[in-house]
Structure 1
Amino acid sequence: MSETATRAPAPATLSRGRLLAWLGVTTAALLASVVVTVAIGPAGLTPSDVGQVVATRLGLGDLLGLATPDRLDDGIVWQLRLPRVLTAAAVGAGLAVCGVVMQSLTRNPLADPYLLGLSSGASLGAVSVLVLGWLAVLPVAAFVGAAAALVATLALATAAGRGAGGLSPGRTVLAGLAVSQLAAAATSFVIFWSARGDQYREILSWMLGSVAGAQWSSVLITGGAVLVLGTLLASTGSVLDAFTFGDTAAATLGVPVAAVRWVLLIGVALLTGALVSQSGAIGFVGLILPHAVRTITGARHRALLPLSMLCGATFLMWADTLARTVFTPRELPVGIVTAAIGAPVFAVLLWKGKARA
């Protein structure tokens, strides 16, 4: 069989014009989703009510000739729903871009932002303060736990690679799995030994992921992290393209492989830690969204990264809307919804990939 016949087809890529069109469509969908999801709920608001409240709060009411919104509508939109929706958008965008980076760096299609043990470390930190009743420091404890897990993972991977090729994707993944299992065991021990009464419900809700308690401080933390770290990660498309064919190929193209890998791993960890500190461990977003968007963009990261961020933000907003409305007046942790949607979608994507192969 000839070389031409056996060679796999090159992944499709978007032209510049089509990329700009997709960016425009996904941005418009994101903005529209913010307004619509804020309006959805038992209070019976409309998108125009949401726009009126937001415009008035931004000081544009007189300029646009809008009437003063009802105080109850103002409280529902500005104090309850809008911070929650914006936090969900920031978390979804951040997890999606982190998933893209992790899958590229480790060359592992099953990689997600939690691969380095970050979610287990954050859970250990959060559960430790929940059982003590220190709810005010929960975000700090979760971030510290995620950071400690990162340090432990990288230290273990570096020690294992000393004299054997240094920090490699395979060793990093295995070290992350080891740290994740250790932190998960410690979390289970803390819950079994110390949790009482309603603490079980609080712990379970946090571990499954939820943005129900989001405030404007949550928007500031998650939005700021995505704006700074997420934007930096999204700008590394050409570098991640170089990693596609392995470390040797990347080095041949002039990429300082070890330094870049360290910087990107730390960037992913810091962004994931900031997101998890506000939302808990929301699964499947960083795993599924990159694969779904690749069906549109192909493998080129310059298109994959920004589109994944936009689609991740929109997806998690709607997932959270389902979580808070489907079983009203009860709410589900949004992680249940993302898993319920993500698992079948992943199966479909896997089947399509098999068919293409």
Structure 2
Amino acid sequence: MMRRDNQARTVLWRSVGWSGLLLLLLVTPLLASSFGAAQIGVFDVAQLLWHHLVDAEQSSSINARIIWELRLPRVLLAFTAGAGLALSGFVLQSVTRNPLADPYLFGISSGASFGAVLVVTLAGTSVVAGLSLPTGAFLGACLSVLLVLSLSGQRVTTQVERMLLSGVAVSFMFGALTSLLLYFSSPLAAQSLLFWTMGSFAQAKWAELWLPMGIVAIALALVIGQKRQLLAMQGGDETAHTLGVRVVKLRLLMLLLCSLITATLVAHCGGIGFVGLMVPHVVRLLVPQRQSIMLTALVGGLFMVWVDVLARSALPTQELPVGVITSALGSVFFLFVLRKRGQ
């Protein structure tokens, strides 16, 4: 009898939690779109969006254009970036069995940033002829993964701590190379690239949203499809082998998938660190007995939207890079997790 009551109570709290999350998902775009230099209320945002959907030709006011052309694409890109980075963090922490694994600490983000900055800096030369920004970022991310795997030694499946240390070393190396490229760039290009490498959603456009949203959606579906194998790998390679999981193949596949996600996001909004580290841990604290991939992605998206709101509203005359805020929060969270592991 008591067991049934506990199960019913768990189901009730789970239903309430999901209902609250769905309500927050519906309200967040309206609230986030109301913040900015132009003061537009939440109800005005809802009214302008409704008029635009009903009759786009008549909703040509300045406020309508601000909401539809500037703020709403920015909110969607921020949500997509947060969901993708949180998903990458969950995958990396699962396949390496290391709670400190993250696209930023693993070197993937730095490698993607280097590839993207290389394409922008050397655009028009024979060195990067024919390469687009996402392609350069993806090649840089893949190079980072290859370096991490090679530095980890041949017994990669058992040396997860060494993989993390290798990722930190590779991250610093690509960071130094990116700084070198910025140093030899023109002052105007260096200023623009420096702000971009710190993370920003200011350049979000409707025409370019389809690629990051499509990549993150496909990756989310693939990870959900491999959920049983990922959870088996958290118990150790031997346990996963016993359950029929091809550990090495799955680990390489997931690393390439994380590289694709990170490279696509870096190419569209620059380098944003520590989101993949923080969000999976926060979700585990909120729901300790379940590891929901979808919940991790949704919480990551909401977190990034409100970090972006803070970045563009903290100072009255200028905008803070998003990566500065996430790095400040993430460094403190990293120390917290490190101390908790040492106890």
TM-score (norm 1): 0.81
> How has the CA–CA distance of structure 1 residues 156 and 349 changed in structure 2, closer, same or farther, with 3 Å as cutoff?
closer
Which amino acid in the other structure matches residue 323 of structure 2? G
Query: CA 1:306 to 1:249, structure 2 compared with 1: closer, same or farther past 3 Å?
Result: same
Distance 1:32 1:349, change over 3 A: farther
What RMSD in Å do the two structures reach over aligned CA positions?
3.1
Which of the numbers 320, 333, 347 marks the counterpart of 2:308? 320
Query: 1:283 is paired with a residue of what secondary structure?
Result: coil
Contact 1:126 1:141 (C-alpha < 8 Å) held by counterparts = yes
- The 5 Å alignment of 1:338-353 reads 338-347=326-335, 353=340
Code of the aligned partner of 2:136: V
Kindly indicate whether residue 171 of structure 2 is the aligned counterpart of residue 183 of structure 1: no
In structure 1, what is the equivalent of residue 103 of structure 2?
A: 113
Deviation per residue, 1:305-329 (Å, 9 max, x gap): 2111111111111111111111122
Q: Hey, what does 2:5 align to over in structure 1?
A: none
1:281 Cα deviation after fit: 0.8
Q: Which of the numbers 293, 318, 327 marks the counterpart of 1:330?
A: 318
- Structure 1 stretches of 5 or more lacking a match? 1-13
Q: For 2:156 and 2:281, locate their aligned partners in 1 and report how far apart those are by CA, in whole Å.
A: 30
Q: Give the aligned partner of residue 18 of structure 2.
A: 23
Residue 211 of structure 2 is matched in structure 1 by 221
1:245 aligned to which of 235, 246, 251: 235
Structure 2 gaps of 5+ residues are: 1-8
Write the distance in 2 (CA, Å) between the matches of 1:328 and 1:149. 36
1:58 Cα deviation (Å)? 3.0
In structure 1, what residue type is equivalent to 2:21? T
Give the number of equivalent residue pairs: 331
Question: Within 5 A, what are the aligned runs for 1:142-221?
Answer: 143-151=135-143, 153-154=145-146, 157=149, 161-162=153-154, 164=155, 169-170=160-161, 172-192=163-183, 194-221=184-211
Closer/same/farther in 2, CA of residues 183 and 167 from structure 1, 3 Å limit: farther
Residue aligned with 2:50, SS = helix
CA distance in 2, matches of 1:105, 1:166: 9
Q: 1:183 to 1:159 in 2, by over 3 A?
A: closer
The one-letter code of the counterpart of 2:186 is R
1:153 and 1:41, CA in 2 relative to 1: closer, same or farther beyond 3 A?
Answer: closer
Q: Give secondary structure in 2 for the equivalent of 1:329.
A: coil
Q: TM-score, with normalisation over the residues of structure 2?
A: 0.84
Q: Does the 8 Å CA contact 1:89/1:313 hold for their aligned counterparts?
A: yes
Question: Are the counterparts in 2 of residues 84 and 212 from structure 1 also a CA contact under 8 Å?
Answer: yes
The counterpart of 1:290, out of the listed 273, 280, 291, is 280
1:46: which partner in 2? 41
Counterpart of 1:309 in structure 2 is: 297
Q: What percentage of residue pairs aligned between the two structures are identical?
A: 35
* Residues 324-356 of structure 1 deviation map (CA, whole Å, 9 limit, x = unaligned): 1111221111111222333445555666x479x
Q: Does the aligned pair in 1 maintain the 2:104–2:274 contact within 8 Å?
A: no
Pairing of 1:250-269 with structure 2 (within 5 A): 250-269=240-259
